[in-house]
Amino acid sequence: MRLIADLHIHSPYSLATSADLTPANLWRWGQLKGIALLGTGDFTHPAWLEQLKSALEPGPGKLLSLRSNPCPTDVPERCRAEVSFLLSAEVCCIYRKGGRTRKVHALIHAPDFAAAERLNASLSPFGSLTANGRPILKLDAKDLLQRVLDASPEALLIPAHAWTPHFSIFGAATGFGSLEECFEELTPHVYAIETGLSSDPAMNRRLTGLDGITLVSNSDAHSPIKLGREATVFETDLSYAAVYEAIRTGNGVASTLEFFPEQGKYHADGHRPCGVRLTPAETVANGYRCPGCGGKITVGVLHRIELLADREDGKTAKGNAAFHSVIPLLDLAAACLGVECSSRKALRCYLHLLEQVGNEFHVLLEAPLEEIARHSSERLAQAIGRMRSGQVDIEAGYDGVFGKVSVL
């Protein structure tokens, strides 16, 4: 079966997240988005784990489902579908290795509550699990991987947003040059990496060292409405074992749904305080210093991949799954209406489309443009058509500033 999964999200216990990230709201928004399988986020936080145990129960295939579904009228009839959950967490490892400080974020999937609790007990000596839903651990990422495997051979560790400059396995500021440099003899147990918002699969496939590594995408959502801004499409059974095997082998990962990578806030090089955006060549020409103030340039994902790549064109690499670049429907609706995404007018347009046409991914990827126009506007239908064909204008993001994408 074909299912869309978003396996990296957060809870209200992570910093800068919404209080609306409850299991019931995640269930509702999963349906609105068209997501069949959601990560729980933050199972390392004791209070959130207790909430998850109260709200969720084991279902078929070792996945989790809500113990009692909220009122179904909270979801438009055209969007109603089953939503399952998979235990997930993200941790931040900060440690010294190779004479440098390393800051690596890792996504963890656990097959059941018992495995999650064993892992939490193993990690608690290395940092506070109660201070943040995404805990900071004084622990080598390799040692983290060993503890994940000790908690359960069915558990997974996936390097999160693998290219982000400051907190990732390949990041320009604190990362490594290869999986092997980070995980050493445990590297064969790393089956996948998360591409992150500022890169896409074609960019990642420029590294032969990632041949055979599955590429997954997730939203890293800090609020329910951000669910699915990136996601992974599986062609497999709806079970923990099937999803695990698809990630392990790559067979069953049909495609990913991606930001246009330029839209990510670390795609290009730059210096945010001065409003300076640079190409890799310009950064080199300026000696990695801001031409405005002389401050240090933040080297973005595009430049970092250029430095590590040993293949000209990642689109022709073996093992490529398809990917589709999408723009969130609320963003498109707001742009067509000339209002902010946070406006009630944009949200009304968004929800009306879901009521009349179907879930967000159906609208973005499959629904006939004539039907979209009939229930919104010709302008929005044309914008979605241009997005589908890649006819977009983009100002690349840099140094923490999101890029701007226009289809109008």
- CATH code: domain 2-262 is 3.20.20.140
When pLDDT is cut at 50, 70 and 90, the band that residue 73 belongs to is confident
Rounded distance between C-alpha atoms, residue 63 and residue 4, angstroms: 15
Alpha-carbon dihedral of residues 166, 171, 176, 182, nearest 10 degrees? 70
pLDDT tens-digit series, residues 234-263: 999 999 999 999 999 999 999 999 999 999
pLDDT at 314 over 70: no
pLDDT reported for residue 312: 87
Spatial neighbors of 259 by CB under 8 A, at least 6 apart, are 197, 198, 200, 229, 230, 325, 326
Residue 74 is predicted with a pLDDT of 85
CB atoms within 10 A of CB 62: 17
Local confidence band at 75 (pLDDT 50, 70, 90 cut-offs): very high
Residue 396 has pLDDT above 80, yes or no: yes
pLDDT band at 318 (very low <50, low <70, confident <90, very high): low
CB 211 within 8 A of CB 319: yes
**Tokens encoding 21:** 């990230």
26-52, pLDDT tens digit by residue? 999 999 999 999 999 999 999 999 999
3-class state of residue 395 by DSSP: strand
Given a cut of 90, whether residue 105 has pLDDT beyond it is yes
Element (H, E) at 3: strand 2-6
Per-residue pLDDT of 127-169, as tens digits, reads: 999 999 999 999 999 999 999 999 999 999 999 999 999 999 9
The domain spans of the chain are: 2-262, 329-391
More confident residue, 106 or 322: 106
pLDDT digit string (tens) for 50-66? 999 999 999 989 999 99
Q: What mean pLDDT is reported for the chain?
A: 97
Question: Which of 40, 33, 216, 55 is CA-nearest to residue 116?
Answer: 40
Share of the chain above pLDDT 90, in %: 95
pTM: 0.97
Pairing of strands 393-395, 231-235: unpaired
Give the H/E segment covering residue 56. strand 56-58
Whether the per-residue pLDDT at 310 is higher than 70: the answer is yes
**329-337 vs 344-356: helix axis angle to the nearest 10?**
120
| Reported confidence tier of residue 69, pLDDT bands at 50, 70, 90 | confident
At position 119, the amino acid (one-letter code) is L
Over the stretch 362-389, which tens digit does the pLDDT of each residue have? 999 999 999 999 999 999 999 999 999 9
Whether the predicted pLDDT of 176 surpasses 90: yes
